[in-house]
Amino acid sequence: MNDNNIPVSDIGELLDEVTDKVPKLISGLLSTLYSAEAGKNMGQAVGNLYKELVEQGIPKEDALAMAKDYMLSLKDIAKGNMPN
């Protein structure tokens, strides 16, 4: 047998493993990204950014817009979309 050929039985076992493990991995990632703790952490990060911007003299309206943009960027990253 050529070393470059993988036996069909090995491919079947590999697919069984992938079929079993990938859904669990995806479920774990989603529960991490959309948990109450993740929401709390995101809220704290956005709130801290807003507070720091205002303390540094950025007008409140501008700081709010910047904090909103930051939150939307975090949301895009969490979804797997990279901001343009």
Exposed/middle/buried for 19, CB within 10 Å: 0-12, 13-18, 19+?
A: exposed
Q: Is a pLDDT exceeding 80 seen at residue 12?
A: yes
Does the reported pTM lie above 0.75? no
Residue predicted with more confidence, 60 or 15: 60
- Whether the CB-CB separation of 46 and 67 falls below 8 Å is answered with yes
How confident is the model at residue 81, as a pLDDT? 60
